Amino acid sequence: MRLFLALDLDAPARACAVEVQGRARRAPALRNVTVRWVRPESLHLTLAFLGEVDADRVAPIARAAAEPWRHAPFRVELASAEAAPRSGAPRTLWLSVSAGRAALAHLHADACARMGPLLSAPVDPRPPGHVTLGRLRRAPRSSGRPVRDAVAGLAVPAFGWRVDSVVLYQSRLASGGASYRPLARAPLGCVILDAVP
Ligand code: ATP
Ligand code: MG
């Protein structure tokens, strides 16, 4: 089973991301390439991609993911749409995290420590940094410059939300785009608020 831990956007942030997708769709440079847009309900910030996991490991992983996180809720902000990678054929359109990176890195490290012993391969050590809006299909190299310029020109105003839970998703890949099924959810906020002797 293909699994990942993610942070859901709240409804207003989701609406902002959908609005950016709408403007990107209408950009002339993006009409010449095929983009598979992430569906509104699937927009997320990946905390840790766990990869393909054997069936007998799913229950322990779900139990671990359902344990509260020892981390205070925090705000994440997104700003600036980008086409990645920065050179060559563009493959992904995303919104970059502009605030909350330190908290994300901390939570990511917690997720790696919690999930690592339950997995056969190490989790990607790079902390999360973007919300994917769409994926380009076989875009030619020559489309790189106009696509990157068009996406940069969207001038996305910063928006964000308060992260207060972590969700374990199963990803089911399909030709029309992956669909994600939530398997477990746990809150943030289990922290010691004052010095305890
Ligand atoms: P598709 O691969 O068909 O485009 P998808 O990327 O939405 O669909 P998955 O590949 O299952 O579906 O990925 C689920 C989430 O994990 C996505 O946010 C994706 O960007 C992220 N992800 C996938 N592979 C990796 C990886 N190797 N390292 C880090 N994150 C990954
Ligand atoms: Mg993928």
pLDDT in tens, the chain (197 residues): 999 999 999 999 999 999 999 999 999 999 889 999 999 999 999 999 999 999 999 999 999 999 999 999 999 999 999 999 999 999 999 999 999 999 999 999 999 999 999 999 989 999 999 999 999 999 999 999 999 999 999 989 999 999 999 999 999 999 888 999 999 999 998 777 777 77
What's the distance, CA 72 to chain centroid?
Answer: 19
Which of left, alpha, beta for 80 (phi over 0: left; psi -120 to 50: alpha)? left
> Considering the entire predicted model, what is its pTM?
0.95
Q: Residue 185's CB: how many other CB atoms inside 10 A?
A: 13
Please give the distance, rounded to the nearest whole angstrom, from the Cα atom of residue 44 to the centre of ligand 2. 13
In this structure, the residues whose C-beta lies within 6 A of any atom of ligand 1 are 2, 4, 46, 49, 124, 132, 135, 171, 173, 178
Residue ID of nearest Cα to ligand 1 atom 8: 178
Q: Are 148 and 90 in contact (CB under 8 A)?
A: yes
**Gap from CA of 10 to ligand 1 centroid (Å):** 20
Nearest to 95 by CA among 75, 81, 106: 81
Ligand nearest to the CA of 180: 1
